Amino acid sequence: THKCTFEGCCKAYSRLENLKTHLRSHTGEKPYTCEYPGCAKVFSNASDRAKHQNRTHSNEKPYVCK
The enclosing domain of 22 has a CATH number of: 3.30.160
pLDDT value at 11 more than 80: yes
The enclosing domain of 35 has a CATH number of: 3.30.160.60
The mean per-residue pLDDT over the stretch 14-34 comes to: 96
Give the structural domain span for 22: 1-29
Looking at residue 2, its pLDDT comes to 98
Confidence band of 59 (pLDDT split at 50, 70, 90): confident
At 26-54, the pLDDT tens digits run 999 999 999 999 999 999 999 999 999 99
The angle at the Cα of 32, spanning 19 to 43, to the nearest 5 degrees, equals 75
φ, ψ of residue 22 to 5 degrees: the values are -60, -40
Predicted structure pTM score: 0.74
Average pLDDT of the residues of the chain: 93
Say if 20 falls within a structural domain: yes
